[in-house]
Structure 1
């Protein structure tokens, strides 16, 4: 018999992912601002907040994967879950290729296929997590110890990874044009897997304890900036230094802890508000939202895109208005896509067949 917490849904992680999607859209909409405003103090403060978006996505992805693996193994459905997770990871990598196709001439310059952006990083991180989690999901305590250790190994090796050259450089650093190489970003997925494994074994109370531990470690790491900087050769401190990573996961875990407390206060039986449904919809459709909002921003449809019409032209007021419009359009298209996806294929087929017969009978002989 599974423990009562085994079926608890952690909506706070959906909210975290949904809020990260909203911040991501706001961040990418910076291309609409006039260039001088993008370097203003207000823009710099916004970018500091946006710096936790990618860690939040990776943490959430690792959390969900580990949680589902632990729960499915406990209920005897590990094989089914592994297949579903693998298909989902392949969808992420497929969407990553689609986005690169939108931006780069892949057929003329195939090297852009291996340019790592956030979706590639998420997909590859989940593949690595799946390999580890599949073997250790039946032993959650071992899984959480291994994932926590791998997170810190990843972060502490990241400054050294800047010196890697050759084929491995495509995966491990920015020297080949990667936006989100595995170092240091893979570490956030390992941290999420640690929290997910704890939650799968101990429930919500275990999640709170895991987050408090990570917050404490994040505080310690952020205050150790100077010794950690001196520990390595010259490197990009604000990208690969463990202290910088610690500050990022600190804020992600604080945000998630607040959301867990909010979820407990609202209760699982309370009717969701419109705001909650709005945020949750982005959390459950984050992949679709990523592709759709980039398409609206950059992809030319009959010569129109947000970037073509308003790029580099907006003050703060128009930027805020257009960002809100971009969010609403992304939301509407995600909802429409979900409606189409939820239609049973058999119903679509029967409807098409019925309409075809009606047209055939109505055709004059």
Structure 2
């Protein structure tokens, strides 16, 4: 594949891989009996390792794709059409994130459960897109190197100081806002540190855009990504320990105690290297369509697995109760069903949306007709009530 093409197919393939890994990961993690979580089992450890890679890859690829589309157009600042589209997309993801946690039965009873305010993947990606737009607008009329420098700086800042701010309770904020920064109330993801992967993806996309005409981009990029990944995975902890001994700064000493952010970042670079290496074999239309349908797949999987709106999902009936013999083929079937439904939805998206719009308009018309028909009845009822009251008052006075 030539770099000059508008679409980087290996990125779509990475996104497809990440969403499928997310589906099976959520299914197995939520439904398999904990008694089978044996860290002495090699197969389970491999699954657990790849489950840990999924979210960092997904966030990084999301930041890469959005930034790549944002900066490749000639317009700058607010004149860039991708800015308005990005704002709509970010707000849409936030809205869908909240809607998926809405329970209609509770709403009918006048209750909004605490789970509605918890923050998940869509919230963080939506907010990350808005942050990327903000950084882009701030730097759009300044030196061209400032945008990628800020992106990389945010990633390093969030990852380096994670041992410090993860201890903060954010109790001074309302829970609905605090949930974006702390998992104390049950949030699955938080904007810090996960924004760091999105900004790193944005930084890498800037490099791809700047060197798009470089003849040996992939020949140089693949070994570079693999080398950076190797160093981060196997040597970042010892490097931070050495920095702690050299500087005496406490936060450097805290990082090696739980160095998951930089190690997972190394995994992301390795995944980039692998997919770039295999890029010529990743042009299958179905794979690319899956990569372009991640939002639909995510929404459908959330409804089926966690029971959005009704609470009647697989998680409610089979929570941590299945054996590997059932949960593994079940996860494969779950991936196939969610992907098939999402691709079918995207294929008929315009028709489905028009039908929904027609149904809503029909309900609205019927509501107006009922209201208009009831006005004469209410007037007649009002007249009768006034007559009855007058007769009653006359009787009382007489």
Match of 1:125 among 103, 120, 128: 128
- The reply on whether 1:253 has 2:269 as its aligned counterpart is yes
1:1-365 → structure 2 map (5 Å cutoff): 5=3, 7-30=5-28, 31-40=30-39, 41=41, 42-73=43-74, 78-101=79-102, 108-109=111-112, 111-137=114-140, 140-164=144-168, 165=170, 166-167=172-173, 169-203=178-212, 215-222=226-233, 223-226=235-238, 228=240, 231-232=250-251, 241=258, 243-263=259-279, 265-266=280-281, 272=283, 276-299=284-307, 305-308=313-316, 310-343=318-351
Out of 103-112 and 9-18, give the one that drifted further: 103-112
**Matches of 2:137 and 2:113, distance apart in 1:** 33
**Matches of 1:292 and 1:118, distance apart in 2:** 14
- After TM superposition, give the deviation of residue 281 of structure 1 in Å: 2.4
Query: Would the alpha carbon gap of residues 313 and 119 (structure 1) be closer, same or farther in structure 2, given more than 3 Å must change?
Result: same
CA RMSD of aligned residues (A): 3.5
- After TM superposition, give the deviation of residue 153 of structure 1 in Å: 1.0
Q: Determine if contact 1:71/1:200 at 8 Å carries over to the other structure.
A: yes
Query: Would the alpha carbon gap of residues 344 and 324 (structure 1) be closer, same or farther in structure 2, given more than 3 Å must change?
Result: closer
Out of 160-169 and 214-223, give the one that drifted further: 214-223
SS of 1:314's equivalent in the other structure is coil
**Matches of 2:147 and 2:22, distance apart in 1:** 31
**Matches of 1:67 and 1:27, distance apart in 2:** 28
1:357 paired residue number: none
**Matches of 1:183 and 1:260, distance apart in 2:** 28
**Matches of 1:137 and 1:207, distance apart in 2:** 28
**Matches of 1:254 and 1:32, distance apart in 2:** 30
Q: Determine if contact 2:15/2:291 at 8 Å carries over to the other structure.
A: yes
Out of 35-44 and 282-291, give the one that drifted further: 35-44
Q: Determine if contact 1:199/1:207 at 8 Å carries over to the other structure.
A: no
- After TM superposition, give the deviation of residue 23 of structure 1 in Å: 0.6
**Matches of 2:6 and 2:333, distance apart in 1:** 35
**Matches of 1:128 and 1:302, distance apart in 2:** 33
- After TM superposition, give the deviation of residue 176 of structure 1 in Å: 3.1
Query: Would the alpha carbon gap of residues 174 and 347 (structure 1) be closer, same or farther in structure 2, given more than 3 Å must change?
Result: closer
**Matches of 1:37 and 1:143, distance apart in 2:** 47
- After TM superposition, give the deviation of residue 39 of structure 1 in Å: 4.0
Q: Determine if contact 1:96/1:119 at 8 Å carries over to the other structure.
A: yes
Which string of whole-angstrom CA distances, capped at 9 and with x for unpartnered residues, describes residues 227-254 of structure 1? 647643997978xx5x321211111121
TM-score, length basis structure 2: 0.73
Gaps of 5+ in 2: 245-249, 359-398
**Matches of 1:104 and 1:214, distance apart in 2:** 49
TM-score, length basis structure 1: 0.79
Query: Would the alpha carbon gap of residues 76 and 207 (structure 1) be closer, same or farther in structure 2, given more than 3 Å must change?
Result: farther
**Matches of 1:90 and 1:332, distance apart in 2:** 26
**Matches of 2:15 and 2:261, distance apart in 1:** 19
**Matches of 1:208 and 1:147, distance apart in 2:** 25
**Matches of 2:335 and 2:231, distance apart in 1:** 36
- After TM superposition, give the deviation of residue 203 of structure 1 in Å: 1.7
Which string of whole-angstrom CA distances, capped at 9 and with x for unpartnered residues, describes residues 321-363 of structure 1? 111111111112102211221449789999xxxxxxxxxxxxx
Which string of whole-angstrom CA distances, capped at 9 and with x for unpartnered residues, describes residues 106-137 of structure 1? 76346544422111111111111111123435
Query: Would the alpha carbon gap of residues 348 and 90 (structure 1) be closer, same or farther in structure 2, given more than 3 Å must change?
Result: closer
**Matches of 1:27 and 1:204, distance apart in 2:** 38
Q: Determine if contact 2:229/2:268 at 8 Å carries over to the other structure.
A: no
- After TM superposition, give the deviation of residue 75 of structure 1 in Å: 8.7
Higher Cα radius of gyration: 2
Out of 65-74 and 184-193, give the one that drifted further: 65-74
SS of 2:74's equivalent in the other structure is helix
